[in-house]
Amino acid sequence: MAAEMSLQVPRVKLGSQGLEVSKLGFGCMGLTGVYNTPVSDEDGISILRDAFNKGITFFDTAVYTDPILMKFWWERHVSLPVVYQALKQLPREKIQLATKFGVFKMEFPHMIVKGTPEYVRSCCEASLKRLGVDYIDLYYQHRVDTSVPIEETMSELKKLVEEGKIKHIGLSEASPDTIRRAHAVHPITAVQMEWSLWTRDIEEEIIPLCRDLGIGIVPYSPLGRGFFAGKAIMESLPANSSLVGHPRFRAENLDKNRRIYSRLENLTKKYQCSPSQLALAWVLQQGDDVVPIPGTTKIKNLDENLGSLKVKLTEEELKEIAAAVPIEEVFKFQLFSLTSIPPDDQKIIGGDDDRVVSDDSDLFSISNQLKLVSIDEKDESRLVSIDEEESTTSNGSVAQDNANSLVSDEELARMLQAEEEALMLQQFAVSGQSEEFEQIIQPYISKVLMYEDPARQEAARKTVPVEELEEKALVSLAKEGNFKPSKIEKDHAFLLQLLFWSKESFRWVNAPPCDSCGNDTINQGMGVTIPSESQYGASRVELYHCNSCSRITRFPRYNDPLKLVETRRGRCGEWANCFTLYCRAFGYESRLILDFTDHLWTECFSQVLGRWMHLDPCDRVYDRPLLYEKGWDKKLNYVIAIAKDGVYDVTKRYTRKWLEVLSRRNIIRETDLSATLTNMTRDCRKSFTSLICSMLEDRDKNELEELEKGLHSKDDASISLPGRQSGDKEWRISRSEIGSNEDSSLSCSSCPVRLCVDVHVTSIYNAFFPVLSQFIENSLSNSRTVEILKIFKEILVELKNSSYEKRTISVNPFVLHLLPYFDQLLNALSLKSEIDTDEKVNICLAGDPVKTSLALPVVLDALDDVIVNLNNCSNLSKASLSLPLMRLNRIHSGSVLASGEELPFGISTSAFDGLRATKWEEPNGAKGCWIVYKLPDNQMHELVAYDLMSANDAPERDPMDWVLEGSDDGGSSWRILDKQISQAFENRFQRRSFKIKSGGFFCNAFRFRFLAVKDVQSNSRLQLGSIDLYSSNSSL
C-alpha cells in the first residue's frame, strides 16, 4: 500500500562505477516545445532551479553539432542554452550532468549518426564549451553508428575518461550485443532506453543484461510520452505538439486510450495518488538501479512527479499495476501505432504450436522471435514466431524472413521513434501557411464540381462507345472464367475498359501540329487568351511557330472538361480532368488527384476491392499507386484527393518512403494541414444530410486505417513498375521521370497461376474438320473452298460488328445452300440459323452472347490461317486434313505459370487464347525463360505436335532456341519431348508446327524452356503470339 513519507529525493548509485544521482532525474527535452509550447529562458531556468532545490540533481540533455539542428534548438529556446544559464546559478559540484553525442547531421528525415574517434572528441570539446563546464558526469552515445566498430568509439571515450573530461560513459538505444562489446572495452555506467507501462520491450533482454553487467538504467518517457499524465484524455494536446499526429493520441483512438487509462485511474484510489504518480512510481520501483528522467515545463507537474516518490509498492502491487496495462495489449497498441490496425483486429500467433498469444507470459516466451508479416485478406495482422532459419505457419505455408516478414520486433520501436523525430523536426521546417495551401487547392474544388453538372456528364457519355466497352468488359471477365458476373464486377470491368479506351482516344500534345499545314511546330512562349478560350477556363495559352509555313498555332490549356470532351487532347492535366468527368458520368465515385510535384490522375472507389483505386489515364495504369515513386522516381511531397464530398491527404497511398516524403512537406505543418483539410471537407459537405455525412465519416476512417496499413506493408519486389510512358522522351528526361530504365514496363516476375478459359478455341479448331470434309466429299476445288470460306468470313465480320446482345444477320439467298456446311462451326460460336416469319434465313445468337463475343475473334483468325494454308496446298484431299491445315485434338482448360509476364495485356494465358491480337510477353526472357502448362483434373495426354505463332511486331523478340519437356507427375520431374535450335519466323502471325518424334509418353504437364530469342544483344524480351498443344486421340 502507499505510505506517507516526507518528500525527500533519495540518492542512489547509478550503475557500479560510483556515479551517485538523485533517484528521480529531469529530462530537459520537455523544455524544447516539442511536446508543447516552448518556455522562455526565464521560466526554463526557474523550473530547473526549483527541481534542484527540491532534491533533483541529475539533469539530462543533448548537444548537436549539425547547423540545422543547432538552429532549430536555439530558435526554440531549447534545453542547452537554458541548462547553460541554470548551471551558472547552481553549485556545479552538486549537479550530475548527462549529455550526448552521435547525431552528426540531419538529412531529413534521417538523423545521420557518427561514432568515429575524431568526432567523439570534437563533440565532447564542443559540449564542454557550450555548457561552460570542465567535465561531464555522464556522456552517452546518443545513437550507435553501426558503420564504426563500437570498440573504436569506446576506446576514444575511455581516453576522455582518463583525461578527466568525462566521468562516466553511457549508451542510448543500443542493442544487447553492442552493450556487451562496449562494456568489454570500458565499463558502461548507464543505458538510456524508453521504458514505461506503455513501452516494455526492454524487459526481456536489455534489463537482465544491464543488471548482470552492473549497468544502471535510465528510462526516458516514463509516462508514455505524457499518456499516463492524461494527454489527449484528461487534457487536449497543444496544437503545435508533435504528438498530435501520433496514432496513440489521435482523436479516433480516444475510446481505446480511455480503456487503458481508466484501469490505471481506478487503481489510484487504492494507492491514494494520481495516475501519473502511479505510472512513474511503477518505473521508479523496478529497482534501485533505475533512474527515470521525466521532463516538464510546469512547477505543478514537477511536484506531481516528485510525489511519485511517496508511493511505496510491494512486489504484488507492482504486478497488479502491470496487469492493468498488460504487455500483450500494450504491444498491440504499439502495432496499432505502426500499422493503424485496431488492436481488436490483430492476431498474434507464435510458439511451436502456432497458438494465439493471449497473455504476457506467452508473449515473453516468443518475444525475441516475433516478426510482423503481411496482412491477410481478412485484414488481420499476423505476428508469427520465426526461428532463425524458417518455420511453418498453421496453414502449412513457410514464413521466410526475407520473403514475408515486414519488420522484426526489434525494429518496431526504432520505426516509431524515427517517425516521431521526423514529425517533430518537420513542423519547424515549413515555409508556408495554411492560406498558401488553400490557394493551391481551391481551384480544383471548383473544377471537380463541374463533374456533377448533368449537361457535362451527358456530353461526356455521348462520346463513349458504351456498348463496345460493355462487351469488352464482359469478355475480360469471361476470360477469367466469370460468365455470370455481379453488377459490381461488371462495373469494375467497365471502368478498366473506360481507362483503356480513354488512352486510345485522347491525344497527347508535346507540340501541336500546325493548324494551317499540319507540320511540326516549336514553342514560342505564352500568349493572351481570347474570349472563346477563356470561356472554357483557359487561363493560359501556349504559342507554337510552324517550321514550314511560319504561322502561329495556339494551344489553349482548357480547364473545363466540357471542352476537353470535344478536343480530347492535352497533357496530364487535361487527361485527368477529362477522364474524371467520364468516371463521374458513368456513376463512379471519383476523385481528382493532385500531385504537388506536377502530375494529376484519378481515383475511383471500387466496390469489388472495397477501397479507392488509382487510375492514370496518361499511362493506362491502374491500381499501382507506387508507380510514381518506384517507377517514375518522383520525389513526392503532397498527394491530395479532391472530390465533391471533401479534400483528402492520400500521400501515404503513393509512398513506402514516408519519412523521406515527410521531409519534403514544407508548405504547411502537419497539424495545420489536417485542420485545413478538415475545414475544407466540412465546407464541401455542408449541404449533405446527416446520414450521408455519417457514412462518409465511416469511410474516411476506414481509408485512414488502410493508408497506414499500406504505408508499412512490404513491397512486392516481383512487380516492375515502368518510368513515365506519356510525353516525348526529351520532355520526360527533363522532368526526371523516365525511371531507371526507359525500356521498362509494368511486369511481374513472380506470376500467379492462371486458368486458361479456351475450350471454345478447341471447339472452333475441331469444327473446321467437318466443314472441309464436306468440301472434299463434294469435290470442291481449293479456289472454290477459299471463296466459300471468305463469304462465310464476311458474314461473321458483319455479325461481329453488330450489337453484341442482339447479334443477327439475314443471309443472302444465294448462300443459303452453304449453311449446312457450317452447322458445327456455328454451334461452336453459340450461333444458329433460323427462318423468320418473312421466310428469311437469319444467323443469330443461340446462347450466351458473351460466349459468342469471346469466340468470334478466334474464328476469324482461324479462318485466315485456314485460307493461307489452303492457298499453299496444291490439292485439297483427305490427306490434307492434318497439321498445319487442321488443328485437331487441341489440349485446353489447363493452368499456366510463367517466369514473367507483361501487365495487364501480356499475361501468360494470352499464349493460349487463340487470338492474334494478344501475346505473351516475358520482359526478361531474351536469354532464358519458361512457361508451364498443367492439364486439368489430373488428365494425362500423349502430345503429338505443337504450334508456335509469332506475335504482331518486334521480330527480334521471337523465340529461336527452345526445349519442350513433359511430366507425368505434375512437374516434379521432366522429360525432354522436343528440342529446337536456330528456328526463325519469317512473318508476323506465322504459325510453325512441330511434331513430337518420340511418342508413347503420357503427360499431365508441359514446360517450354526458351533459351534465346532472335536478337539477344539489343533486346531483353521474348514474346509469343500463341502456343497450341495437340494430343493423340487417346488419353488416360
Q: Taking residues 963-990, what's their average pLDDT?
A: 97
Return the number of other C-beta atoms located less than 10 Å from residue 111's C-beta: 21
Taking domain 435-506+568-715, whether its CATH number is 3.30.420.40 is answered by no
1012 confidence band (pLDDT: 50, 70, 90) = very high
C-alpha cell at 762: 478447341
Task: Determine the average pLDDT of the residues in 130-147.
Answer: 92
Q: For the segment 444-486, what is each residue's pLDDT rounded down to a tens digit?
A: 999 999 999 999 999 999 999 999 999 999 999 999 999 999 9
Quick one: 598 exposed, middle or buried, by C-beta within 10 A (0-12, 13-18, 19+)?
Answer: exposed
| Domain 509-556, second-level architecture | Single Sheet (2.20)
Residue with grid cell 486510450, as numbered in its chain: 257
Superfamily, domain 895-1035: Galactose-binding domain-like (2.60.120.260)
- 801 Cβ partners below 8 Å, 6+ apart? none
pLDDT at 44 over 60: yes
> How many angstroms separate the CA atoms of 569 and 806, rounded?
34
| Cα–Cα distance for residue pair 185/171, rounded to 1 Å | 13
User: What's the pLDDT at 379?
Assistant: 39
What integer is the mean pLDDT of 288-307?
93
CB-based contacts of 385, cutoff 8 Å, min separation 6 = 349, 350, 351, 354, 366, 369, 370, 371, 391
* pLDDT over 50 at 375, yes or no: no
Q: Are strands 901-902 and 747-748 parallel, antiparallel or unpaired?
A: antiparallel
Q: What's the pLDDT at 398? A: 28
Quick one: pLDDT at residue 454?
97
- Give the CATH fold of the 781-875 domain: Endonuclease I-creI (3.10.28)
Stretch 686-692: mean pLDDT, rounded?
96
Tell me the average pLDDT across 634-653: 97
What type of residue is 748? C
Surface-to-core class of residue 729, CB atoms within 10 Å of its CB (0-12 exposed, 13-18 middle, 19+ buried) = exposed
Active-site amino acid positions: 572, 599, 616
Which has the minimum average pLDDT: 267-271, 842-846, 888-892?
267-271
Tell me the CA end-to-end span of the chain in Å, nearest whole number.
Answer: 81
- pLDDT top residue among 497 and 838: 497
Please list the residues that pair with 642 across neighbouring strands.
592, 647
Contact present, 511 and 521 (Cβ < 8 Å): yes
The pLDDT tens digits of the residues spanning 437-450 come to 999 999 999 999 99
DSSP alpha helix (H) spans, 191-249: 206-213
User: Quick one: cell of 533?
Assistant: 478560350
Q: What is the mean pLDDT of residues 603-630?
A: 97
Q: Is pLDDT above 90 for 981?
A: yes
pLDDT tens digits for 175-232?
999 999 999 999 999 999 999 998 888 998 999 999 999 999 999 989 987 788 775 4
% of the chain beyond a pLDDT of 90: 67
Nearest to 780 by CA among 730, 830, 747, 818: 818
Alpha-carbon gap, residue 873 to 865, rounded angstroms: 12
Domain ranges of the chain: 11-325, 328-426, 435-506+568-715, 509-556, 781-875, 895-1035
How confident is the model at residue 3, as a pLDDT?
Answer: 38
Provide mean pLDDT across the span 430-440.
79
Higher pLDDT, 242 or 796: 796
**Cis (ω within 30 of 0) for the bond into 342?**
no
Question: Is 506 strand, coil or helix?
Answer: coil
Each residue's pLDDT tens digit, 710-758? 887 777 888 999 999 999 999 999 999 988 766 678 888 889 999 999 9
| Helix 670-684 and helix 434-450, axial crossing angle in degrees, nearest 10 | 30
In the CATH hierarchy, which fold is given to the domain comprising 11-325? TIM Barrel (3.20.20)
Contact status, residue 350 vs residue 370, Cβ threshold 8 Å = yes
Using the predicted structure, report yes or no on whether residue 889 has a pLDDT greater than 80: yes
H-helix segments, 143-205: 150-162, 176-185
Burial-class residue 590 by CB neighbours within 10 Å (0-12, 13-18, 19+).
buried
So what's the pLDDT on residue 74? Answer: 43
For residue 13, the SS3 value is: strand
27 three-state secondary structure = strand
Q: CA 855 to CA 400: how far, in whole Å? A: 44
Res 796: pLDDT? 96
pLDDT tens digits along 304-359: 999 999 999 999 999 999 988 877 666 666 566 555 556 666 666 655 555 555 55
pLDDT at 70 over 70: no
- Please give the torsion angle defined by the CA atoms of residues 717, 720, 726 and 728, in that order, rounded to the nearest 10 degrees: 110
Specify the pLDDT at position 321: 92
Q: What is the pLDDT of residues 501-533, one digit of tens each?
A: 999 999 999 999 999 999 999 999 999 999 999
Q: What is the pLDDT of residue 129?
A: 87
Share of the chain above pLDDT 70, in %: 83
